[in-house]
């Protein structure tokens, strides 16, 4: 049953092979392969086959065949067939957004953008190109303009706005696709010999400006795309480990491991597109952290090629004490110390049971009190996410149009909640749950969770709502680009915070956004909402969504950045962290002096200088600048003079 539920969880994203999992699990036997100690507990899984329908968009989030579109009558649809919302009529979304933001959104008033036809000329380095041509085929590198552009940005609102309506400025001069670790090693050696900058590229999903090229870099910048190194090289079912190459994408990892009855359990919101190497490099966390752990809890070993050579170990133990461990420096390194080529990870059996659930609470405060007690009760569900009232309303606005009996059912449910139970629609909040594990364990979790919820006036809202809330994670990621063309800028940011500061932080950030929005005289009302996600004994992760209407606003993306900085300033003032799982990149590097002592900053700088003295990995992430006024507008992006299109891989 768990396999079928897993299929539903990730949607139709090339994961159909899971349907055969149970049959395969019963019949497969490990293939003997050499191991460092001569054992035979590892086997080589079937190679991953990437299907033709997995083309990703070049200028928006996600798959090329999937996007939200508004019809002339105001109904909204999600194109494609991949998600539960796909091809469903969403009549409430635009009216609800207009009501919340106090603006008119005309479905016919669309801001379009032409595909670029000119790109900055590449900074050429003939000697480097000659060197890599000895070990890379012509299909493994390109100076093609669109390819270079896509490898020069992640998914921040500023970057996505720039590639649609402005210019990114400096972009990589060359894109390469290594196919094995030896080629990565040769790339680094060639870069050292010929003065070239290497920037690792995984799924391109980061939201910290980590892929943006330094404007003042005069050397040739090479984007090292790891996605041809995308296989699970071995699985060890006896010791419950696997070695996964850095370019393997989350949705493919899930598929391949599930064939043999295993899972990593790591599911960040970006799991469909982010990669194994990217998870390590950004110090990532997933939606099921409560059961499986954060990425540092799952990864046992990391392989990386640095300016000093390759870092690897002779064996992987469950734990060891061997002095200073260079592997630990790679978590959160964001491409500054080397190129991650693979990782050995823990494996968990596919859960016997996977159940969804949901709970309604009268207020956000009661929901937080429930999560606090749950955090100290132990044996947590795999995922617990508490949405504030505005985010709960947002989920309701995304419900497809009801027909027949479902119309009456919806009315009866609403009547029961608001009239009989007395929940105020403007105050009530929702919590979605995912339970995974052995049947008895899940039953115990459910009993505990719902008993604690009842103590805080929580009301069970059913498995269907829990499942739907979890699935929405994947489809709502497409909304940011949809609203951008309808004159709304939106983005997310996150933090972790001790329990005592959860309510003050959430209230303080919302008030700060409202005040900053009003101070600038921006149109309408800001959209600011939050959810409480991963729980710890000591605190939680809080995830914010912020949007404003930008029609008529001069330089709106810089204004957005100002407001986001103000929100982050408030987060730090309220005791929150700089980031929980997004990382630092260039977006947050100016804040490092605010959270770290001079000695701490010096350690980072000196380590970088010692390990990469010629700055081969010169992406310039985490380069802490002197403390700045964070509510000031960012420096404008310099515009590169465009040249005629440079095309062709040969």
Confidence of residue 421 (pLDDT cuts 50, 70, 90): confident
The Cβ of residue 139 has, within 10 Å, a number of other Cβ atoms equal to: 10
pLDDT of residue 320: 87
Q: How far apart, in whole angstroms, are the C-alpha atoms of residue 178 and residue 529?
A: 42
Side-chain half-sphere CA neighbours of 644 within 13 A: 0
Cβ atoms of 298 and 286 within 8 Å: the answer is no
pLDDT tens digits for 66-102? Answer: 999 999 999 999 999 999 999 999 999 999 999 999 9
pLDDT on residue 624: 65
pLDDT band (50, 70, 90) for residue 249: very high
- Residue pair 380/290 in contact (Cβ under 8 Å)? The answer is yes
At residue 626, the pLDDT reads: 38
Domain boundaries, the chain: 2-50+228-349, 68-110+351-478, 126-225, 487-580
Number of neighbouring beta carbons within 10 Å of residue 121: 15
Which region among 49-58, 303-312, 439-448 has the lowest average model confidence (pLDDT)? Answer: 49-58
Phi, psi of 343 (to 5 degrees): -150, 145
Place of tokens 């590198």: 141
The class level of CATH for 487-580 reads alpha beta
**What is the predicted pLDDT for the residue at 168?**
75
Q: Find out if CATH 3.40.50.2300 is the number for domain 2-50+228-349.
A: no
pLDDT number for residue 633: 35
pLDDT of 28 over the 60 cut: no
Distance in angstroms (rounded) separating the CA atoms of residues 263 and 242? 10
pLDDT score, position 315: 87
User: Which phi and psi angles does 593 have, rounded to 5°?
Assistant: -65, -20
Least confident of 7-11, 194-198, 333-337, 492-496: 7-11
What does CATH list as the number for 68-110+351-478?
Answer: 3.30.70.3450
Q: Would you name the residues annotated as active-site residues?
A: 543
- Region of poorest pLDDT, from 172-181, 436-445, 603-612, 623-632: 623-632
Residue 27 pLDDT exceeds 50: no
List pLDDT tens digits, range 278-337.
999 999 999 999 999 999 999 999 999 999 999 988 889 898 898 989 889 999 999 999
Query: Please, which pLDDT band fits residue 177 given cuts at 50, 70 and 90?
Result: very high
Find out whether 339 and 255 touch, Cβ atoms under 8 Å: no
Average pLDDT over residues 426-442: 96
The structure tokens listed for 439 are: 């049947």
Query: What is the four-CA torsion angle of 255, 259, 264, 270, rounded to 10 degrees?
Result: 10
Where does residue 12 rank: exposed (0-12), middle (13-18), buried (19+ CB within 10 A)?
A: middle
Section 268-278 average pLDDT? 97
Number of helices (H) and strands (E) in the chain: give both, helices first.
21, 20
Q: Which of the listed ranges 30-34, 45-49, 495-499 does the model predict with the highest average pLDDT?
A: 495-499
d(CA 443, CA 433) in angstroms, rounded, equals 13
Question: Are residues 367 and 427 in contact, defined by beta-carbon separation less than 8 angstroms?
Answer: no
| CA nearest to 283, candidates 599, 611, 579, 624 | 579
SS3 424: coil
Give burial (CB, 10 Å; 0-12/13-18/19+) of 285.
buried
The closest of 357, 277, 412, 349 to 25, measured between CA atoms, is: 349
What was the pLDDT predicted at 408?
A: 59
Decide which of 324 and 644 is more confident.
324
Cα 485 from chain centroid? Answer: 22
Angle between helix axes 364-375 and 502-519 (nearest 10 degrees) is: 140
**What is d(CA 147, CA 152) in angstroms, rounded to the nearest whole number?**
9
Average pLDDT of the chain?
Answer: 89
Percent of the chain clearing pLDDT 90 (strictly above): 81
Q: In the structure encoding, which two tokens stand for residue 341, read together?
A: 């080529």
pLDDT at 423: 87
Fold match, 126-225 / 487-580 = no
| Residues 531/505, Cβ–Cβ less than 8 Å | no
CB 272 within 8 A of CB 10: yes
Contact 581, 283 (CB under 8 A): yes
Strands 262-263, 197-201: pairing is unpaired
CATH architecture of structural domain 126-225: 2-Layer Sandwich (3.30)
Report the alpha-carbon distance of residue 229 to residue 342 in Å, rounded: 9
Where would I find the beta strands (DSSP E) of 40-194?
A: 68-70, 76-78, 141-142, 174-176
Which residues, 6 or more positions from 588, have their beta carbon under 8 angstroms from its beta carbon? 208, 568, 578, 579
pLDDT of 10 reads 42
Which of 261-270, 366-375, 420-429, 435-444 is predicted with the least confidence, judged by mean pLDDT?
Answer: 420-429
> Residue 9: what are its φ and ψ, rounded to 5°?
-60, -45
Specify whether the CB–CB gap between 199 and 619 falls below 8 A. yes
Q: Who contacts 329 (Cβ-Cβ below 8 Å, separation ≥6)?
A: 337, 607
Mean pLDDT of 501-512: 98
Give the three-state DSSP class for 617.
Answer: coil
pLDDT tens digits along 117-170: 889 999 999 999 999 999 999 999 999 999 999 999 999 999 999 999 988 789
* Torsion 266-270-274-278 (CA) sign: negative
d(CA 203, CA 246) in angstroms, rounded, equals: 10
In the prediction, which pLDDT does 88 show?
95
Asked whether the predicted pLDDT for residue 628 surpasses 70, the reply is no
pTM exceeds 0.85: yes
* 487: pLDDT strictly greater than 50: yes
Give the 3-state secondary structure of residue 190: helix
Q: State both tokens at 641.
A: 């003079």
pLDDT given at position 110? 95
Select the more confidently predicted residue: 551 or 633.
551
List 497's β-bridge partners, or say none. 540
Angstrom distance (rounded) from CA 302 to CA 319: 14
Give the 3-state secondary structure of residue 644.
Answer: coil
Written as six digits, the tokens of 1 are: 């049953």
54-63, 316-325, 397-406: range with highest mean pLDDT? 54-63
Displacement of CA 45 from its chain's centroid (Å): 27
pLDDT value at 470 more than 80: yes
Specify whether the CB–CB gap between 226 and 277 falls below 8 A: yes
Give the whole-angstrom CA distance, residue 34 versus residue 40. 7
Strands 221-225 and 299-306: unpaired
Residue 26 has pLDDT above 70, yes or no: no
Q: Rounded distance, CA 55 to CA 524, Å?
A: 37
Which tokens in the block code for residue 87? Answer: 């091809």
- Length reported for the chain: 650
Burial of 596 (0-12, 13-18, 19+ CB in 10 A): middle
Confidence band, pLDDT 50/70/90 cuts, at residue 647: very low
User: What number of other Cβ atoms are within 10 A of residue 27's Cβ?
Assistant: 7
Pairing, β 174-176 against β 221-225: parallel
Q: Show Cβ contacts of residue 378 under 8 Å, excluding neighbours closer than 6 positions.
A: none
């Amino acid at each position: 049953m768990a396999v079928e539920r897993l299929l539903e969880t990730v949607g139709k994203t090339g994961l159909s092979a899971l349907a055969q999992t149970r049959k395969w699990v019963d019949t497969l036997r490990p293939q003997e392969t050499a191991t460092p100690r001569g054992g035979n507990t590892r086997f080589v899984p079937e190679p991953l086959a990437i299907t033709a329908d997995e083309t990703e968009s070049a200028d928006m989030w996600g798959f090329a065949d999937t996007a939200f579109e508004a019809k002339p009558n105001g109904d909204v649809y999600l194109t494609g067939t991949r998600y539960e919302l796909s091809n469903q009529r969403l009549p409430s979304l635009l009216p609800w957004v207009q009501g919340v933001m106090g603006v008119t959104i005309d479905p016919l008033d669309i801001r379009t953008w032409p595909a670029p036809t000119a790109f900055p000329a590449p900074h050429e380095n003939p000697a480097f190109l000659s060197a890599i041509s000895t070990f890379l085929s012509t299909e493994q590198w390109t100076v093609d303009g669109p390819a270079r552009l896509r490898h020069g940005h992640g998914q921040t609102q500023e970057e996505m706005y720039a590639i649609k309506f402005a210019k990114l400025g400096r972009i990589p001069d060359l894109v390469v696709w290594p196919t094995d670790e030896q080629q990565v090693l040769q790339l680094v050696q060639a870069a050292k010999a010929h003065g070239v900058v290497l920037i690792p590229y995984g799924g391109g999903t980061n939201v910290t400006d980590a892929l943006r090229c330094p404007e003042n870099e005069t050397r040739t910048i090479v984007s090292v795309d790891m996605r041809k190194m995308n296989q699970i090289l071995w699985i060890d079912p006896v010791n419950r480990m696997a070695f996964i190459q850095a370019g393997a994408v989350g949705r493919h990892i899930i598929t391949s491991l599930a064939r043999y009855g295993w899972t990593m359990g790591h599911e960040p919101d970006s799991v469909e597109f982010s990669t194994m190497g990217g998870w390590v490099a950004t110090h990532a966390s997933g939606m099921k952290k409560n059961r499986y752990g954060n990425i540092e809890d799952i990864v046992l070993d990391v392989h990386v090629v640095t300016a000093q050579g390759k870092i690897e170990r002779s064996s992987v133990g469950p734990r060891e004490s061997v002095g200073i461990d260079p592997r630990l420096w790679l978590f959160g390194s964001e491409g500054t110390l080397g190129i991650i080529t693979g990782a050995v990870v823990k494996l968990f059996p596919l859960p016997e049971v996977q159940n969804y659930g949901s709970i309604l609470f009268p207020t956000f405060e009661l929901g937080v009190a429930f999560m606090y007690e749950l955090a100290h009760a132990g044996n947590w569900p795999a995922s617990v996410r508490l949405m504030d009232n505005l985010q709960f309303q947002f989920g309701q606005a995304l419900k497809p149009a009801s027909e027949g009996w479902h119309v009456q059912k919806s009315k009866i449910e609403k009547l029961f909640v608001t009239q009989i139970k007395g929940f105020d629609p403007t105050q009530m909040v929702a919590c979605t749950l995912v339970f995974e594990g052995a049947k008895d364990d899940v039953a115990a979790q459910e009993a505990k969770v719902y008993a604690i919820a009842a103590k805080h006036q929580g009301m069970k809202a059913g498995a269907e709502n829990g499942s739907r809330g979890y699935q929405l994670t994947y489809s709502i990621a497409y909304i940011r680009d949809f609203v951008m063309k309808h004159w709304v800028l939106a983005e997310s940011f996150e933090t972790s915070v001790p329990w005592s500061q959860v309510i003050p932080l959430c209230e303080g950030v919302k008030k700060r956004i409202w005040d900053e929005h009003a101070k600038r005289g921006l149109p309408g009302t800001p959209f600011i909402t939050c959810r409480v996600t991963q729980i710890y004994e000591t605190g939680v992760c809080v995830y914010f969504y912020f949007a404003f209407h930008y029609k008529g606003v001069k330089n709106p993306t810089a204004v957005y950045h100002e407001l986001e900085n103000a929100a982050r300033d408030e987060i730090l003032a309220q005791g929150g962290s700089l980031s929980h799982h997004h990382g630092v990149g260039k977006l947050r590097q100016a804040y490092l002096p605010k959270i770290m002592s001079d000695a701490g900053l010096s350690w980072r700088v000196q380590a970088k200088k010692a390990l990469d003295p010629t700055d081969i990995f010169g992406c310039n992430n985490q380069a802490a600048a002197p403390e700045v006024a964070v509510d000031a507008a960012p420096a404008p992006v310099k515009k590169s003079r465009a040249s005629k299109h440079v095309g062709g891989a040969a």
